[in-house]
Structure 1
Amino acid sequence: MTDTTSHIGKRIPRIEGPSKVTGEALYAADVMVPGMLWGRTLRSPHPHARIVSVNASGARELEGVHAVLTGRDAPPTMVGRMFRDLPLLARDVVRFAGDRVAAVAAESVEIAAAAVELIDVEYEPLPAVFDPVEATSEGAPVLHPDVRSYGYVPDPPPGWPLPHLIPDDVPNVQSYVKWSHGDVEQGFAESDLVFENEYRTPPTHQGYIEPSVSTVRIGEDGRVQVWMTHKNPFPGRAWLAQAIGVPEDDIVFEFVRIGGDFGGKGDLRDAPLAYHLARLTGRPVRFAMDYDEEFAAASTRHGSVIRMKTGVRRDGTLVAHRAEAIFDGGAYAAYKPRPEVHLVGPRHLGGGYRFEHVFMDAACVYTNHVPAGFMRAPGEPQVIFALESHMDAVAGELGLDPYEFRRRNLLADGEPSAAGHRKTGLQFQAVLDAAVDAAGWHEPKPSAPGGGRVGRGLAVSNQKLGTGFSVAVAMLLPGGEVAVRTGVPDAGVGSHTMLRQVAAELLTLPLDAVRILPGSTDESPWDMGLGASRHTYVHGQAVASACAELTGKLKETAAESFGVPPEEVTLERGTFSHPGGDRGLGFADLAGTLAADGPFAVPGRFLHPGDEAGTECFSAQIAEVEVDPETGQVRVLRLTTGNDPGTVINPLMVEGQIEGGVVQGLGYALMEELRIVDGHVTNGSLVDYRIPTAADVPPLTRVLVEDGTGPGPFGARPIAEYTVAATAPAIANAVFDAVGVRITSTPITAEKVWRALHAAESREGRAS
């Protein structure tokens, strides 16, 4: 990319970095409010049971305990991010092992922990369901018999697709969506060959280091102060207002840093309980989940069962595609942020491929598992693992090179996707070709360093733009500096650094003349918060809008001084001038007029123009692996990833997002699984739940196809989420290339490969 800018495309360090490494940055766990009590919850040991009785007298009598809440003491309010199906405390029934039954507030965390052990609960176990397919079968235990009576926060607009749009005789459905065009059965009849496969993925956890913290204080004026690990402060304030029955304006979410998120820190966690205990005791109350609770009761990535049936012509042309996904939503849908409580990923059941006939549908269903929510690229790693494994199998059966097969069938610019969306500015072919060239796809495979067999695998993924609405305020300060007030937090992705670069570039100022001011919900303009890879696009455009408004006001003021029309005033390197003028005015000069009595502020707004507007982002990944046929052990030798960032605003952050996504995809492929046995999490700690370390990461080659046509500031595209989805199928396809067995579930463990190899040998033996 030609260097025509001062700040865009530069490797600018994160502005919050020094405060984080010195310990100055304030996280929710750092907040110690005077007089604070410690909260603790009692959680169900049963995945499904009726609560017969609760005796909390022992806890109430323990010295140092100030309040105890049971389901019968708490208001019967149902809460949720958008769909309200989660009680504050279980009243009659518990639906997963980890469901909250009671809560206490005490002088110390040790006393609180001892108190919950003194609460005696009598349970009557009920039949449970753990498999999402079984949950939809006739005779399955119905976990939410009153599901259709649950409400929303807020009520969705007219015409919004609500959940439960399938027949009443299908039990335990949280939501259902479908897409179709053509006649899929006719398409299968017209196909030369038809292929069917089933794929399964388990639930996984975000693996953030910082646990969830919720601290609530009720002021003398009745206002509610909240310090919590929450990535959506303004929506979170609305959800909490509904949950506790307090007007939104009487609640303030204070600004704290967020120690990792990956989609997992967007629900209310224990904040409603902290409020009710603070109201009862007259003192602030804090809940801090330990990692046993994080794994047993937090917002996981959905497990899935995905079935695919695809018809093709002998030349490799895709004709018909039938795809069905059933996602394990766990015991509640409250953790999902969309009114229809569904995932975005299922729209990619047909990926970026061209089909003549399509029928795709997906359901999220209730089970007696940990409630599922959102994790990086919600639903996409599951769907893309299935689709790209399936496409590879189809190509192999046809005797076609996996690259040529994909190249032949990928969408061209403006063609409708399997979900019926037409996108422009697609870089599918360019990114695929660049990644394949960088990986040496057509070159001979190297010898195995460990004496095993080497294979290469390819997978692709595409993702729509994140939507949303954002407001930013640009302020000219009396000294001539500019401050940008924003309500968007930063969970480590570098949002504030990016916003500073955008503002400084548009205002033609040095970076140190621009400040980014995040703050509380009282101090900041309304913002949707983090999620959906919308930071650069939505928040960046809001800042760009505010800078344009400020520039316009400054030009008007300069024009008055120059005695010329505003349209003749130009801005370059922080100086306003006009043709033929013998002097210029800088920001400091104009501040004397506009900001004489304090900051001169103008707002900027950006609203995504429509859910299906714009382009799609694309990633192509190639894995090179070595497989030991004696043990089934898989070792990734090399990964290559191609992406289309449009314009790179900050290479450091783009590289970090790509590498982070690919490493998460590596974990998803080879090791990550929240093991749940009979409803109980059996690896609920960062010791037992495996995620990749630096030693697990192979050499990684990044290929960026920059075209400067993205919808974000300066032509940027999102990068954060879609780097994660193609890694697992690329590795699975490489394993097949190496040893000829296809693993159809994640994680791809040595045991699965070994068993598949021995099963193949047994079949060959019987055949001979």
Structure 2
Amino acid sequence: MKYIGESVNRVDGIKKVTGSLKYVDDMKMHGMLHAVVKRSPYPHAKIISIDTSEAEKLPGVKAVITGKDVPNRAGLYLEDKTFLATDKVRYRGEAVAAVAAETKEIAKEAIELIKVVYEELPAVTNAVEGLKPDSPLVHPDLGKYKWGSIFYPQPGTNISNHYKIRKGDIDKGFEEADHIVENSFFVPQIQHCPIENHSAIAQMDAEGALTVWASCQSPYAVRKALSVAFDIPLNKLRVLSPAVGGGFGGKAGTTLEGIVIPLARKAKGRPVKLTYSREDEFVNSFVRQGLHASIKTGITRDGKIVAVKNHFVWDGGAYTEYGVNIVRSGGYASTGPYDIPNVWTDSICVYTNHPVGGPYRGFGMSEIHFAIEQNIDMLADKIGMSPVDIRKINGLRPGGRNATGQVIDVCGLQECIDDVVKELDFRKKEKIINSKKVRGTGLACGYKAPSMPNNVASSAVIKLNEDGTAHLLVSAQDIGQGSDTVLVQIASEMLSIPPSKITIKTGDTDNSPYEWQTVASRITYCTGNAVIKACEDIKEQLFELAQIQLGIYKRDLELRDEHVISKIYPDKKVFIGDLALGLAMPDGSGIHGPIIGRGSFIPDNVRNTDKQTGQGEKPVAFWTYGCQGVEIEIDTETGKVDVLKVVSSFDVGKIINPKLIEGQIEGGIVQGLGSGIFEEMILENGIVKNPSFVDYKIPTADDMPEMIVKFVENPEEAGPFGARGVGEPCMVPTAPAIANAVYDALGIRINSLPITAEKVLKALREKRQ
């Protein structure tokens, strides 16, 4: 292979480092209006009245909207939200009105003139409490909403999805166990914290067509949701995403786009722009859902886990239109990467009056693995076994079965564990560094599948130019992960064209082909396969023309170094650019015309699981497995935890671009480190108390550990050149590995995230008492 496996430089690198790449908030248009939103001061309240009359009179105000302007509910999986509150508000900060004015200052003044009368209602501020029959209902009309067939809301309750796993005989499994261990864990809400805040512009033309520029990961998904919400035909709604400055899932669905559209409709052709402040980002964009996890495990004295019973209660927030799928994913992955014969899981999404829970890197896997991987270490401690050995005994291998009963064909988990153990000495006993510094090591495994419906598609179009260059058109968004570069490399390998001669265009629903979403670690796999099929279409056309031009059967032709070449007589060849517009024949006639390749892809034979048992032969396209180990140092006087070293190994199938994949893994480690020891949205009575980087901490350059990145390559049969996605799985094991290292260092268990100095000191004091 010439281009696959090479560290090709990022195709967007120069634009990004020079600042020439333009993001939505950089855009300035003639006559542009500025939007500001009025938000609820209560987490749960009935809207009695809204008076906008004074705001509408203010000079410079061009449009004012309230919930009556957005009556339709929308949502990707469960249509439960409106873009402005209609009957009541369900979280503190929910939009109740918005203004578009000549300047942002005028819009802010107008917002203060809008008078809203509320009747405060009891709030649900704990997901476990929200399950109780007497809990206030966040969505009394849940039974009237629309949802997909693979989700199971329970009208009359706060449960928006209940996903079940029933594998084997759980009672028999516990009877066979020599030890039964029960543990509980808690994971709080956290924020994505992309560098670029959400921003959107909407403009309606004279014919009633709407154009939306948005910093979004998934233009086609956004277009569909907005079409439903505003009754706009798809041919009259164009969504462009010119560049995305980080997403991590937070820009996968719709947020502020649904506010600028009704303003633009009233603004008589003028564009309307809304950009979130950092405080808005914390409160009014997706947060990672909170999780209360309880695990009951049966294990034999020789280390075999024979039964596990999970109870996962997810804090879905005020709207769970996206979050219901996270709960589904957490359910079917609820054993972690282990082969356990008897499994009972209830994974339940609960409405609360908290900020909206949605997709976040890992899509539920980081949350459940914080519980699962600590629980594994606690089991090992119970029977006197090493954390490494218990994972080797129970870890999935080819031929094993996961929680859904799926037989696993390809799995490099055991090799990944071996990689990590070679780099970190888990047997060393000397932990005390000096009178106050103690070190420890910890291990955790993880796995993840693309969490997507089974019938979602990717597509690609390639246009061959007459100078032998090409344009690749996709709608997969490069949100920093490097997908533009990887897709160009795949096209280069298939067409034997250097990457420098292929230009990629993305993110325009009018002019780039369909892509479901840029989420789920699926782009290399799904869009990569679509690109391969588009290239195969190009090749077939080139060979058809070349056999006429060269007088050689197409079965004897191949692509090499930008030419169609005879396999038998290499000197007989034709430059692909000479075929790009078809053939000109000696008599002046022409054949074929311009060469355009088209490819589309849907994963084969992926089917739903059973509603009652969660069992299924192939509920996902593939699984990515891996392991991480960490070495930490703890100051016993302050409780501060420093991560010194992280070793990571994942089975990625095939490395397309070594430099990019190493960057992905390192980024995932750092983000996992952040959720492990720093990040938490502090909520009190539904109010976010730390909505800024002053009080909400993320890792900085000073917190970077030594990182050793290893790979296992067991090819994925259906993957492009054998590749599978790893962008999300690489974050999953970091936090539990840190928690296990804390126990190794001090003999204390921290069962809730983040593992702060305060928690460490409190646990040390309790241990000494």
The TM tier, using the shorter chain, reads over 0.9
SS at match of 1:78: coil
Query: How far did residue 327 of structure 1 move?
Result: 0.4
Paired AA for residue 330 in structure 2: G
Match for residue 230 of structure 1?
216
2:555 to 567, 581, 588: 567
SS at match of 1:6: coil
TM-score (normalizing by structure 2): 0.94
C-alpha deviations, 1:527-562, integer Å up to 9, x for none? 113100011111111111111110111011111122
CA–CA separation in structure 2 for the residues paired with 1:132 and 1:291: 26
The answer as to 2:347 corresponding to 1:362 is yes
CA–CA separation in structure 1 for the residues paired with 2:52 and 2:580: 63
Query: How far did residue 707 of structure 1 move?
Result: 3.4
Query: How far did residue 31 of structure 1 move?
Result: 1.8
Change (3 A) 1:402 1:707: same
Of residues 711-720 and 546-555 in structure 1, the stretch that sits farther from structure 2 once superposed is 711-720
Match for residue 19 of structure 2?
23
C-alpha deviations, 1:171-209, integer Å up to 9, x for none? 201111011112212221221110001000100000111
Match for residue 140 of structure 1?
135
Paired AA for residue 695 in structure 2: D
Match for residue 77 of structure 1?
72
C-alpha deviations, 1:641-696, integer Å up to 9, x for none? 11112211111110111001010100011010011111111110122211101111
2:192·2:287 contact (CA, 8 Å) conserved in 1?
yes
Matches within 5 A, 1:59-138: 59-71=55-67, 73-138=68-133
Matches within 5 A, 1:685-700: 685-700=692-707
Match for residue 490 of structure 2?
502
Match for residue 750 of structure 2?
743
Paired AA for residue 536 in structure 2: A
Match for residue 211 of structure 1?
197
Paired AA for residue 48 in structure 1: H
The answer as to 2:583 corresponding to 1:588 is no
CA–CA separation in structure 1 for the residues paired with 2:435 and 2:662: 30
Match for residue 612 of structure 2?
none
SS at match of 2:505: strand
Change (3 A) 1:59 1:598: farther
Query: How far did residue 515 of structure 1 move?
Result: 2.0
CA–CA separation in structure 2 for the residues paired with 1:278 and 1:747: 42
Paired AA for residue 649 in structure 1: I
Of residues 128-137 and 420-429 in structure 1, the stretch that sits farther from structure 2 once superposed is 420-429
Match for residue 323 of structure 1?
310
C-alpha deviations, 1:340-363, integer Å up to 9, x for none? 674423322211112221101101
The answer as to 2:419 corresponding to 1:434 is yes
2:303·2:383 contact (CA, 8 Å) conserved in 1?
yes
Change (3 A) 1:63 1:615: closer
2:151·2:163 contact (CA, 8 Å) conserved in 1?
no
Query: How far did residue 377 of structure 1 move?
Result: 1.1
1:346·1:380 contact (CA, 8 Å) conserved in 2?
no
Change (3 A) 1:196 1:446: closer
SS at match of 1:642: strand
Structure 2 spans left out of the alignment, 5+ residues: 585-589, 607-617
Match for residue 613 of structure 2?
none
1:36·1:284 contact (CA, 8 Å) conserved in 2?
yes
Query: How far did residue 582 of structure 1 move?
Result: 4.6
Query: How far did residue 475 of structure 1 move?
Result: 1.5
2:99·2:107 contact (CA, 8 Å) conserved in 1?
yes
The answer as to 2:177 corresponding to 1:191 is yes
Change (3 A) 1:15 1:75: closer
2:393 to 381, 404, 408: 408
1:179·1:358 contact (CA, 8 Å) conserved in 2?
yes
Query: How far did residue 484 of structure 1 move?
Result: 1.3
CA–CA separation in structure 1 for the residues paired with 2:286 and 2:152: 20
2:582·2:593 contact (CA, 8 Å) conserved in 1?
no
Paired AA for residue 700 in structure 2: T
Of residues 559-568 and 297-306 in structure 1, the stretch that sits farther from structure 2 once superposed is 559-568
Query: How far did residue 291 of structure 1 move?
Result: 1.3
Match for residue 549 of structure 1?
537
2:179·2:301 contact (CA, 8 Å) conserved in 1?
yes
The answer as to 2:520 corresponding to 1:532 is yes
Match for residue 707 of structure 1?
714
Paired AA for residue 398 in structure 2: D
CA–CA separation in structure 1 for the residues paired with 2:499 and 2:652: 23
Match for residue 381 of structure 1?
366
Match for residue 227 of structure 2?
241
Query: How far did residue 249 of structure 1 move?
Result: 0.9
Query: How far did residue 162 of structure 1 move?
Result: 2.7
SS at match of 2:477: coil
CA–CA separation in structure 2 for the residues paired with 1:576 and 1:328: 57
The answer as to 2:163 corresponding to 1:177 is yes
CA–CA separation in structure 2 for the residues paired with 1:149 and 1:357: 36
Of residues 507-516 and 42-51 in structure 1, the stretch that sits farther from structure 2 once superposed is 507-516
Aligned length: 746
Query: How far did residue 443 of structure 1 move?
Result: 4.5
Query: How far did residue 445 of structure 1 move?
Result: 4.8
Of residues 542-551 and 562-571 in structure 1, the stretch that sits farther from structure 2 once superposed is 562-571
Match for residue 54 of structure 1?
50
- Root-mean-square deviation over aligned CA pairs: 1.9
CA–CA separation in structure 2 for the residues paired with 1:41 and 1:309: 46
SS at match of 1:79: coil
Match for residue 516 of structure 1?
504
CA–CA separation in structure 2 for the residues paired with 1:355 and 1:234: 39
Query: How far did residue 709 of structure 1 move?
Result: 4.1
Identity %: 37
Match for residue 307 of structure 1?
294
Paired AA for residue 17 in structure 1: G
Match for residue 722 of structure 1?
729
Match for residue 628 of structure 1?
635
Matches within 5 A, 1:634-649: 634-649=641-656
Paired AA for residue 301 in structure 1: R
Structure 1 spans left out of the alignment, 5+ residues: 763-768
Match for residue 268 of structure 1?
254
Query: How far did residue 401 of structure 1 move?
Result: 0.5
Paired AA for residue 563 in structure 1: G
CA–CA separation in structure 2 for the residues paired with 1:83 and 1:449: 55
Change (3 A) 1:668 1:741: same
SS at match of 1:555: helix
CA–CA separation in structure 2 for the residues paired with 1:23 and 1:698: 29
CA–CA separation in structure 2 for the residues paired with 1:447 and 1:739: 10
Change (3 A) 1:247 1:537: same
Of residues 326-335 and 622-631 in structure 1, the stretch that sits farther from structure 2 once superposed is 622-631
C-alpha deviations, 1:463-496, integer Å up to 9, x for none? 1246541111121112221221112221111111
CA–CA separation in structure 1 for the residues paired with 2:5 and 2:560: 19
Match for residue 381 of structure 2?
396
SS at match of 1:553: helix
1:345·1:377 contact (CA, 8 Å) conserved in 2?
no
TM-score (normalizing by structure 1): 0.94
CA–CA separation in structure 2 for the residues paired with 1:580 and 1:248: 51
SS at match of 1:86: coil
The answer as to 2:500 corresponding to 1:493 is no
1:151 to 135, 146, 168: 146
